[in-house]
């Protein structure tokens, strides 16, 4: 059995989960629920968690090799600069790349727009034994889709139901879904954008359109609230992670992944061949 | 400008490159050309190189974001247990997963077999700014393809030329190709397979077929030699990396990637917007 992390005061999965009555406006993006340490200790904790996560991922791969169909899907949603990229680099990046299926969903292509919004999503569902990561996802179609009126209101309505059905089907086919919104404040975003403008080696990360989008902040928060109410189900709940502190957000998402894998009770699978006979065959070569 | 690694006595790229007159049988799989240290110092060196490689990879991504079409393709070939997986995990795994496109080529599917052998390969060519990694590749079709007579001799002949043309086209479209064969001895393979049989947590990695394949070792070496002679071109040379010491193989492949990226002379790209104007716009939000 693999180890569990010992540095949480309370299981963050319980605190961060979106349940009935959840209000996004009640979440403090500066908070670090369940963790009492500071940035420095969080860096050490992240390294400790990385080893645990890496072993769990290898167990997932090992079992898939022998026919276990299970997989994990991490869905990452957030406002720009909230740290999705950092999660991929520092949390997902600590496991074997061979066990990861990463899909970044950008502005849909003309071909993608010819299909239902879930078409391009289905194509990126992770295979058995993989940790899939969606950097943005089907939720864009009820977030920017709603804020910028990219689809009629009744189509947006339809999508909430389609998403719930889609995710139920995924869960039914042995997928553990971990849906995460990284939550920063508008002031924190301003500071992060300013940092990109101040440092020449960060200029490539800045997009003037990011500033234009800031005026829609309240509308985005409303769209997130609506998405949580319509799609945070018992089988595929949302987690809202305060993300003004990057060190906290990384630690929390790492924990959510560890938790998802722990719940599978993975063990090293037994050999499907005769070990002693193979030893003799090998010695004879 | 990024740093270069300081721990090599001689540039391993020069020593490991397959040039005219190369004989695979002359390569000692136990050697560690260009590196005088031991395993312990190699682990430290690998960590140092990891930072350099990660920065170079970010530079590649940054330039691609602003339109630079360049990309890297690492092709990994080896006998079973030689350490391809370890290279992916410990060398490729040290860069941001968002900058990597990994493709593992297994036994072709019925659909793949309906097409030319390069069909499935073309579909996995990395995009601009990416480090593509082929875990096995189009070379399987002139290696196992030749050893096991999976195609007629004249078809195998045709493939060498098709590969050279394909790779020339890739290089012509801004791809730096790094072709690596990890070279172990049959005794080392026996020891590694025995280790998998001895340790229950490694049983899933063992496949009885791996033992059956050992009898074909000399035929495989001949097929590699033929592939080197026909496809190690000035624009896409092969590198044969002694791999009985995993620490050496990892360090050497890391260096080949660093070398490929250094040769691109990547700098942080200038902003394609007015930085001062954007600072003022941001402050007003």
A89/B92 Cβ within 8 A: no
Measured distance CA(A138)–CA(A80) in Å, rounded: 17
Measure the CA angle with vertex A283, ends A282 and A284; round to 5°. Answer: 90
Chain B residue numbers with beta carbons less than 8 Å from the beta carbon of A206 are 271, 273, 278
Q: What chain A residue is nearest to B54 in terms of C-alpha separation?
A: A89
The 10s digit of each residue's pLDDT in A14-45 is: 999 999 999 999 999 999 999 999 999 999 99
Name, in order, each residue with C-beta under 8 angstroms of A157's C-beta and a sequence gap of 6 or more. Answer: none
Q: What chain A residue is nearest to B134 in terms of C-alpha separation?
A: A98
Looking at the structure of chain A, the number of domains it has is 1
Q: What chain B residue is nearest to A283 in terms of C-alpha separation?
A: B190
Instruction: Identify the band that residue A5 occupies on the pLDDT scale cut at 50, 70 and 90.
Output: confident
The 10s digit of each residue's pLDDT in A155-213 is: 999 999 999 999 999 999 999 999 999 999 999 999 999 999 999 999 999 999 999 99
A102/B89 Cβ within 8 A: no
Decide if B153 touches A, using CB distance below 8 A.
no
Å between B32 CA and nearest CA of chain A: 26
* pLDDT tens, N- to C-terminus, chain B (285 residues): 456 788 899 999 999 999 999 999 999 999 999 999 999 999 999 999 999 999 999 999 999 999 999 999 999 999 999 999 999 999 999 999 999 999 999 999 999 999 999 999 999 999 999 999 999 999 999 999 999 999 999 999 999 999 999 999 999 999 999 999 999 999 999 999 999 999 999 999 999 999 999 999 999 999 999 999 999 999 999 999 999 999 999 999 999 999 999 999 999 999 999 999 999 999 999
Q: What chain B residue is nearest to A268 in terms of C-alpha separation?
A: B201
A66/B215 Cβ within 8 A: no
Measured distance CA(B225)–CA(B25) in Å, rounded: 9
**Residue indicated by tokens 């940035």:** A39
Chain B residue numbers with beta carbons less than 8 Å from the beta carbon of A275 are 197, 203
A273/B194 Cβ within 8 A: no
Q: What chain B residue is nearest to A54 in terms of C-alpha separation?
A: B89
- Cα–Cα nearest to B143, from B231, B81, B82: B231
SS3 content of chain A, % helix, strand, coil (to 5): 55, 10, 35
Measured distance CA(A110)–CA(A127) in Å, rounded: 26
| Any domain includes B7 | no
| Any domain includes B187 | yes
Measured distance CA(A3)–CA(A258) in Å, rounded: 10
Per the DSSP assignment, residues forming a β-bridge with A135 are A76, A104
Measured distance CA(A87)–CA(A112) in Å, rounded: 26
Measured distance CA(A217)–CA(A147) in Å, rounded: 9
DSSP string, A169-210: HHHHTTEEEEEEEEE--HHHHHHHHHHHHH-GGGGGG--HHH
Name, in order, each residue with C-beta under 8 angstroms of A226's C-beta and a sequence gap of 6 or more. Answer: A142, A146, A160
Decide if A268 touches B, using CB distance below 8 A.
yes
| Any domain includes A2 | no
- For residue B96, the SS3 value is coil
pLDDT reported for residue A6 = 85
| Any domain includes B2 | no
**Position A1 pLDDT exceeds 80:** no
Measured distance CA(B250)–CA(B89) in Å, rounded: 10
In contact, B103 and B72? CB cutoff 8 Å = no
Measured distance CA(A82)–CA(A246) in Å, rounded: 8
Chain A residue numbers with beta carbons less than 8 Å from the beta carbon of B282 are 190, 193-194, 197, 211
A66/B214 Cβ within 8 A: no
Chain B residue numbers with beta carbons less than 8 Å from the beta carbon of A132 are none
- For residue B100, the SS3 value is strand
| Any domain includes A3 | no
Measured distance CA(A52)–CA(A40) in Å, rounded: 19
Task: State the CB neighbour count (10 A cutoff) for residue B61.
Answer: 21
Cβ-in-10-Å burial (0-12, 13-18, 19+) of B7 comes to middle
pLDDT reported for residue B2 = 59
What order do you get walking across the sheet with B238-242 strand by strand?
A: B100-104, B131-135, B71-78, B175-183, B238-242
Q: What is the distance between the terminal CA atoms of chain A, rounded to a whole angstrom?
A: 35
Q: What chain B residue is nearest to A208 in terms of C-alpha separation?
A: B278
Nearest CB partner across the interface for B204, out of A85, A193, A269? A269
Decide if B93 touches A, using CB distance below 8 A.
yes
In contact, A143 and A224? CB cutoff 8 Å = yes
Task: State the CB neighbour count (10 A cutoff) for residue B249.
Answer: 27
Which domain, by its residues, includes A55?
Answer: 12-283
| Any domain includes B174 | yes
Measured distance CA(A134)–CA(A131) in Å, rounded: 10
Maximal C-alpha separation, chain A = 73
For the record, the structure tokens of B158 come out as 């045709």
The b-or-e profile of B171-188 (16+ CB within 10 A means b, else e) is beeebbbbbbbbbbbeeb
pLDDT reported for residue B6 = 85
Chain A residue numbers with beta carbons less than 8 Å from the beta carbon of B85 are 96, 98
Chain B residue numbers with beta carbons less than 8 Å from the beta carbon of A209 are none
Q: Tell me, what CATH number does B167's domain have?
A: 3.40.50.300
Maximal C-alpha separation, chain B = 73
Chain B residue numbers with beta carbons less than 8 Å from the beta carbon of A191 are none
CA atoms within 13 A on the CB side of B157: 3
Measured distance CA(B65)–CA(B129) in Å, rounded: 8
Cβ-in-10-Å burial (0-12, 13-18, 19+) of B205 comes to buried
pLDDT reported for residue B5 = 85
- For residue A249, the SS3 value is helix
| Any domain includes B150 | yes
A281/B208 Cβ within 8 A: yes
Q: Dihedrals φ, ψ of B92, to 5°?
A: -65, -35
A204/B269 Cβ within 8 A: yes
Torsion of CA A214, A183, A93, A164, to 10 degrees: -100
Measured distance CA(B221)–CA(B139) in Å, rounded: 13
Angle between helical axes of B217-231 and B153-172 (0-180°, round to 10):
50
**Residue indicated by tokens 């793949």:** B112
SS3 content of chain B, % helix, strand, coil (to 5): 55, 10, 35
| Any domain includes B273 | yes
For the record, the structure tokens of B31 come out as 């050697």
C-alpha distances in angstroms, A213 versus A210, A234, B41, B158?
5, 32, 50, 55
- Cα–Cα nearest to A122, from A78, A163, A63: A163
* Residue of B61, B204, B268, B269 to mutate when probing chain A, most A C-beta within 10 A: B204
């Amino acid at each position: 059995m693999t180890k569990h992390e010992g540095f949480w005061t309370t299981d963050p999965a319980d605190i961060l989960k979106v349940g009935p009555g959840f209000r996004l406006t009640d979440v403090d993006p500066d908070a670090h629920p369940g963790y009492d340490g500071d940035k420095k200790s969080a860096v050490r904790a992240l390294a400790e968690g990385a080893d645990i996560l890496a072993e769990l991922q290898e167990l997932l791969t090992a079992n898939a090799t022998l026919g276990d169909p299970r997989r994990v899907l991490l869905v990452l949603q957030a406002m720009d600069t909230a740290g999705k990229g950092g999660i991929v680099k520092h949390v997902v990046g600590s496991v074997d790349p061979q066990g990861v299926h990463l899909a970044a969903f950008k502005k849909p292509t003309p071909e993608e727009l010819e299909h239902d919004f879930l078409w391009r999503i289905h194509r990126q569902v992770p295979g058995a034994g993989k940790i899939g990561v969606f950097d943005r996802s089907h939720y864009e179609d009820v977030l920017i889709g709603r804020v910028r009126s990219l689809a009629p209101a009744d189509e947006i309505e339809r999508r909430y139901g389609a998403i719930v059905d889609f995710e139920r089907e995924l869960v039914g086919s042995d997928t553990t879904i971990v849906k995460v919104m990284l939550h920063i404040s508008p002031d924190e975003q301003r500071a992060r954008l300013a940092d990109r403008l101040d440092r020449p080696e960060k200029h490539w990360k800045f997009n003037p359109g990011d500033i234009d989008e800031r005026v829609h902040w309240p509308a985005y928060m409303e769209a997130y609230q609506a998405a949580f109410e319509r799609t945070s189900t018992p089988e595929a709940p949302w987690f809202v992670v305060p993300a003004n502190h990057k060190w906290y957000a990384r630690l929390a998402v790492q924990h959510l992944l560890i938790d998802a894998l722990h719940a599978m009770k993975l063990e090293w699978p037994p050999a499907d061949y005769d070990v002693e006979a193979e030893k003799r065959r090998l010695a004879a070569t």
